[in-house]
């Protein structure tokens, strides 16, 4: 198995439901055969069990309440079978071949974390009629070796900025984002 995808998801209302629905249709656009990766979904107490059922996940962990994204990722990583992890959010867009490309970069930089993001710009209209531009993340995933995760340490549970704290520890450990 080339990779374990860990998807932490929380969908408490209809607005988040539509974001998750769009994102979930793109997750398997990995550029790889389905038997080359496993998909672990951690449902952090959301209402979207129908969407999760359609994902064809290898493992689904269901929490009765939202434990936070860091804790959910830790749960999925704990049972991941591959030495390569792809940690993803539930409301982003994923381009065709995202996992294959990410793994190719990881093979070149095995001691580091591959951060795959695309930034798009969109013009929107504010309620007062004034438009402004904003950056919208249209893809975001961290791909890393499980050994790097264990070297840096688990994600902080119950902390909103778990990613920022983990990033600081990543850099202190001598690794970096590529």
Q: What is the pLDDT of residues 56-105, one digit of tens each?
A: 999 999 999 999 889 999 999 999 999 999 999 888 878 889 999 999 99
Higher pLDDT, 129 or 175: 175
Q: In the chain, how many domains are there?
A: 1
Q: What is the pLDDT of residues 154-165, one digit of tens each?
A: 998 877 677 888
Identify the pLDDT of residue 118: 58
Q: Does 131 map to a domain? A: yes
How high is the mean pLDDT of the chain? 85
In angstroms, the CA 79 to CA 67 distance is 17
In this prediction, what percent of the chain has a pLDDT beyond 90?
56
Identify the pLDDT of residue 148: 97
> Is the pTM value of this prediction over 0.75?
yes
User: Could you give the angle at which helices 162-172 and 69-79 cross, rounded to 10 degrees?
Assistant: 60
In angstroms, the CA 57 to CA 51 distance is 11
CB atoms near residue 111 (< 10 Å) = 15
With H, G, I as helix, E, B as strand and everything else as coil, classify residue 99. Answer: helix
Tokens of 16: 């988040």
What's the gap between Cα 21 and its chain centre? 15
Domain that holds residue 155: 3-172
Q: Does 178 map to a domain? A: no
Q: Does 177 map to a domain? A: no
**For residue 139, pLDDT beyond 70:** no
In this structure, what are the phi and psi dihedrals at residue 11, rounded to the nearest 5 degrees? -135, 85
Decide if 72 contacts 63 (C-beta within 8 A).
yes
Decide if 148 contacts 171 (C-beta within 8 A).
no
Q: Does 58 map to a domain? A: yes
Q: Residue 81: which CATH number?
A: 3.90.550.10
């Amino acid at each position: 198995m080339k990779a374990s995808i860990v998807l932490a998801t929380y969908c408490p209302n209809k607005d988040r439901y539509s974001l998750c629905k769009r994102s979930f249709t793109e997750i398997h656009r990995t550029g790889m055969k389905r038997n080359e990766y496993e998909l672990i979904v951690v449902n952090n107490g959301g209402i979207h069990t129908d969407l999760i059922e359609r994902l064809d996940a290898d493992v689904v962990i269901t929490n009765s309440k939202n434990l936070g994204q860091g804790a959910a990722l830790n749960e999925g990583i704990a049972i991941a079978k591959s030495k390569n992890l792809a940690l993803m959010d539930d409301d982003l867009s994923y381009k065709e071949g995202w996992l294959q490309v990410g793994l190719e970069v990881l093979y070149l930089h095995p001691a580091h974390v591959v951060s795959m993001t695309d930034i798009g710009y969109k013009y929107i209209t504010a309620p007062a009629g004034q438009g402004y531009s904003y950056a919208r993340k249209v893809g975001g995933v961290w791909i890393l070796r499980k050994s790097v995760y264990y070297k840096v340490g688990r994600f902080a549970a119950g902390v909103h900025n778990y990613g920022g704290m983990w990033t600081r520890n990543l850099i202190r450990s001598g690794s970096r984002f590529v």
